[in-house]
Chain A
Amino acid sequence: MSNRYSIFSLIKNGLSHNEKWGQAWRSPEPRREYDVVIVGAGGHGLATAYYLAKVHGVRNIAVLEKGWLGGGNVARNTTIVRSNYLWDESARLYEKSMQLWEGLSQDLNYNVMFSQRGVLNLAHTLQEVRDTQRRINANRYNGVDGEWVTPEQVRDIVPIINLNTRYPVLGGSLQRRGGVARHDAVAWGFARAADALGVDLIQNCPVTNIRTKGGAVEGVDTGKGFIKAKKVAVVVAGHSSVLAEMAGIRLPIESHPLQALVSEPVKPVIHTVIMSNAVHAYISQSDKGDLVIGAGVDQYTGYGQRGSFQSIEHTVQAIVEMFPTLSRVRMNRQWGGIVDVTPDACPIVSKTDIKGLYFNCGWGTGGFKATPGSGWVFAHTIAHNEPHPLNAAFSIDRFYNGHLIDEHGAAAVAH
């Protein structure tokens, strides 16, 4: 990498008043033909491009983005990373992702600020206690760390919590390796590292049609003309159904608005990630001090990148009930993203009936944590035209043969 970041580059550029930092990536015009065209320059698409180039030695890759790079869900999530999923297939996939997270900053030469401050999933009812303990056991069998914590331990970890709420906290699971990462840096880090390996990142280039001929993909029509491609890989989250329709295939996906909000920056009060299924609240505190709160999905389908107010109200009520001291904290910003939800709350990382066309979608409300792992297995699927062992179970065929992986409510959070 010509422009490698290090303590020396920091000193050198500091001495020249930080005026000589090079661009992090090029902005080339698209060529007429590529081996692989990836649609969508979000976290998953950029990670796919990076691992395709780095691990599988594929050169001649373009990533097409209709807006700006990293402007969709990778910039709109609540940045939580964990791998404590119940079922074997999911636990293995998300754990692979966790392992990649643990070396990601070094691998990309870009500080993604991955902070393993722990993820605490609270249990509020006797049934939830049993389910949580079962999940911890399942996690540990799968090599995913997890431990049961008592209400007293919860209070030690989060002193401001009110345990004796309407639904008292009876304990919880703690995954110490879980945490948060700086989401924009993840997109930028993958973009910069992919660009250094020769991947063309093309922004403001919407795909308007996927051309197929004789059951095989030919290329894509875009805002910048037709681009021929041997393989087309679609990673567009909320708009997956729209792209699928262009190719004439059907997906079991519904797109819903999902909202989040952040408060004004305050002094450190929450040192971990706290998630509560029963009252539906997720909260963590970013390094600059704002409280990051995730709401639930809106019930209706939509593409508007905004949701209804009562969804936010519901979440904030739960937050204030659990953390009464936060009742007067003012909220700074609120936004929505469009999440692609599957019937079993598990992703689709799959070949399709059309030769050379691949889909990576359906990550729903929990795609951010999977970013590196998703790119890793999708790159393998594209390069070998066969799924990686970790995503073989996540094929689109499962909706026809019945082998669903039901993470609804099982995966430590309700989706």
Chain B
Amino acid sequence: MLVIRCPWCGERAETEFNYGGEADIVRPTDAEHLSDREWGDYVFMRKNTLGLHREQWVHSHGCRRWFVAERDTRTYQFKSYEKLGAHAMEKS
């Protein structure tokens, strides 16, 4: 079982968390002008990175807050955690 460090609550067991998939996928704002191709890319296509992967987790059985983690998908080791929003704010 993985030990995951929630940025708010600290280290907890994996069973307290739910996985939220690839991070930094931003919903397109100009939805009415999007082609089927672009919608398909946004909804379905994923990087599925081999190596360091930025991904979302939610502390479902704890503080119930979301955060972003970097994890190596080969070793499953977490490299960093950040509170959700910090990165998105920076991008916008």
Binding site for B on A (CB under 8 A): 239, 241-242, 250-255, 299-304, 308-310, 343, 399-402
Minimum C-beta distance from B68 to chain A (A): 14
Give the chain B neighbours of A241 by CB distance below 8 A: 46-50
Minimum C-beta distance from A180 to chain B (A): 30
A-B contact count (CB 8 A): 66
16 contacts between A and B (CB under 8 A): A241-B49, A250-B45, A250-B46, A253-B46, A254-B48, A255-B48, A299-B19, A300-B55, A300-B76, A301-B55, A304-B73, A304-B76, A399-B45, A400-B36, A400-B39, A401-B36
Binding site for A on B (CB under 8 A): 1-2, 14-15, 18-19, 21, 36-37, 39-41, 43-50, 53, 55, 71, 73-76
Give the chain B neighbours of A299 by CB distance below 8 A: 18-19
Knowing A300-B19, A400-B36, say if A251 contacts B48 (CB, 8 Å): yes
Minimum C-beta distance from A300 to chain B (A): 5
B41 touches A304 (CB 8 A): no
A241-B50, A254-B46 given; name 19 further pairs at CB < 8 Å. Answer: A241-B48, A242-B50, A250-B46, A251-B45, A251-B46, A252-B46, A253-B46, A300-B19, A301-B48, A301-B55, A302-B76, A303-B73, A303-B74, A304-B73, A304-B75, A308-B2, A310-B1, A399-B44, A401-B36
**What is the CA–CA distance of A254 and B55 in the complex, to the nearest angstrom?**
12
**What is the CA–CA distance of A301 and B23 in the complex, to the nearest angstrom?**
12
Knowing A242-B50, A400-B40, say if A301 contacts B73 (CB, 8 Å): yes
Cβ-closest chain A residue relative to B45: A250
**What is the CA–CA distance of A401 and B21 in the complex, to the nearest angstrom?**
23
Give the chain B neighbours of A252 by CB distance below 8 A: 40, 44-46
Give 6 closest A-B pairs by Cβ, nearest first: A241-B48, A252-B44, A400-B40, A250-B45, A299-B19, A399-B44
